[in-house]
C-alpha cells in the first residue's frame, strides 16, 4: 500500500490508494476507507470535504482541483452575439431563403426549419449582413444549434 500526501491549506494529509476485491479501489484516509470503484479508463472524483478541494483520479493519475466561487453565467445567445440564429428545436432545414453576404433587415425571414410536422420560419434578429449559413436544405439539426450568423455591421 503506497502512502501518498495531499496538501490542503498548508496542512499535509497522508492517504493511500488501496485495491479492494473485484478490482475496485478505495482511498484510506484518517482511518476511513472511501471506495472509488474501478479506476480503469474511468474518472473517479473524491471529495475530502476540506476547503472545496477534490482529488480526481484518471487512470491512476491524480489531480487536485479546488472549487472557486461561481461566476456569472451568460446565455448561449449572449456569448454567440446578437446575430446568431439558433434552431428552436431539433428538426430539418426545409428551405434557405437568403444567401451568405446578403443584406437583411430585422424581422426578415432567413430560413425555414421543419420540426414536429410543422414549418418554423426563423427571422433576422438584427439589421446586417448574413456572414455564414451553417446548414444546407435537407440537413438535420439539433436543438439550440447555430444555423446562421448575421453581422450587425453592414460591410
Residue 17 scores a pLDDT above 90: no
pTM beyond 0.75: the answer is no
Domains in the chain and their CATH numbers? 3-66 (no CATH), 76-151 (2.40.50.100)
- DSSP letter at 145? -
Question: Per-residue pLDDT tens for 86-133?
Answer: 888 999 999 999 999 999 998 999 999 999 889 999 999 889 999 999
Question: Per-residue pLDDT tens for 64-81?
Answer: 665 555 555 445 555 566
Residues 6+ apart with CB under 8 A from 5: 12, 13, 14, 15
Amino acid at each position: 500500500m503506497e502512502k501518498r500526501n495531499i496538501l490542503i491549506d498548508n496542512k499535509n494529509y497522508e492517504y493511500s490508494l488501496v485495491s479492494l476485491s473485484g478490482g475496485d479501489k478505495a482511498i484510506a484516509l484518517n482511518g476511513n476507507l472511501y471506495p472509488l470503484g474501478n479506476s480503469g479508463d474511468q474518472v473517479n472524483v473524491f471529495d475530502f470535504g476540506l476547503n472545496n478541494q477534490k482529488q480526481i483520479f484518471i487512470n491512476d493519475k491524480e489531480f487536485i482541483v479546488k472549487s472557486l466561487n461561481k461566476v456569472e453565467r451568460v446565455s448561449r445567445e449572449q456569448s454567440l452575439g446578437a446575430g446568431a440564429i439558433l434552431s428552436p428545436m431539433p428538426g430539418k432545414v426545409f428551405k434557405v431563403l437568403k444567401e451568405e453576404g446578403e443584406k437583411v433587415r430585422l424581422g426578415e425571414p432567413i430560413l425555414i426549419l421543419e420540426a414536429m410536422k410543422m414549418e418554423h420560419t426563423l427571422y433576422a434578429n438584427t439589421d446586417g449582413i448574413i456572414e455564414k449559413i451553417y446548414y444546407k436544405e435537407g440537413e438535420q439539426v439539433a436543438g439550440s444549434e447555430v444555423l446562421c450568423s448575421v453581422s450587425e455591421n453592414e460591410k
